Amino acid sequence: MNVPSDGYLLRIFIGESDRWEGLPLYEAIVRKAKQDGLAGATVLRGIMGYGANSRIHTAGILRLSEDLPIVIEIVDAREKINRFVSEIDAMLGDGMVTLEKAQVLHYRHRKPS
């Protein structure tokens, strides 16, 4: 799979408790990205954050949140990213989606010797 050197970084900010058709939303989005042939996806779990509702979510020892921030990052060509975002729009409720240019310096997989 090739990724253009002038790619785009898609970031999807959601909550850990968000769901889609019985799956955690982050899992549903990553599975859809793989199905659509995007170059790869990474899910990051935050330890603290807040969004549009201004409610702080934290993993602090005294305040164990069940809705920690989740960020999904995907890098690929702009056309593929745009098509993907339109396909997952119905999956997204609360949250934020951003897109920025990304220069891909290295993308490869070494086969085991």
Residue-by-residue pLDDT tens, the chain, 113 positions: 677 788 999 999 999 999 999 999 999 999 999 999 999 999 999 888 887 776 776 666 555 556 789 999 999 999 999 999 999 999 998 899 999 999 988 887 777 77
110 located within any domain? no
112 located within any domain? no
Q: What is the CATH number of the domain that holds 96?
A: 3.30.70.120
109 located within any domain? no
108 located within any domain? no
Question: Exposed (0-12), middle (13-18) or buried (19+): which is 7, by Cβ within 10 Å?
Answer: buried
Q: What is the pLDDT of residue 45?
A: 93
71 located within any domain? yes
14 located within any domain? yes
Q: What is the pLDDT of residue 108?
A: 77
For the chain, the domain total comes to 1
Distances (CA, A) of 23 to 18, 28, 30, 68: 9, 6, 11, 16
Can you give the residue range of the structural domain that contains 86?
6-103
19 located within any domain? yes
Q: What is the pLDDT of residue 80?
A: 96
